[in-house]
Amino acid sequence: MPTSAGRGVLVVEDDLGRPSISYADARRLVSERREAAARARELAERHDQELEEQRLASLHVGVPAVPGELPSTALLMSARDERPRRQSMVEHALSNDGGFVFHPLGPEGDEQ
């Protein structure tokens, strides 16, 4: 009593009563499985590559090397460059609403 599997493969019983398929159908199913495995590997590799690119993009770039200088010197120079710079009186005057702020040099209330 022949039956049909879900992939259009005719399944029949062999001499011992076990379900069996033809050699041509078996070769076709094995090749389909190999192709599906190859596609899955390719997709996984592409996904891993995208994850690696994202990981590398999120890494801190670091401090550029200065020829002839120690790495610690370059690191200290970059740290100094990141500190906020003090404004001059002219920069301060131009950056706010146009007024000056008086900063006494000595202790406050020291008027003579």
Give the span between the Cα atoms of 102 and 93, in whole angstroms.
11
Are the C-beta atoms of residues 88 and 101 closer than 8 Å to each other?
no
Q: Which residues contact 64 (CB under 8 A, 6 or more apart)?
A: 74
Per-residue pLDDT averaged across 75-102, rounded?
72
- pLDDT > 70? residue 14: yes
Residue with the bigger pLDDT between 42 and 71: it is 42
Judge if pTM exceeds 0.85: no
Domain ranges of the chain: 3-82
- pLDDT > 90? residue 37: yes
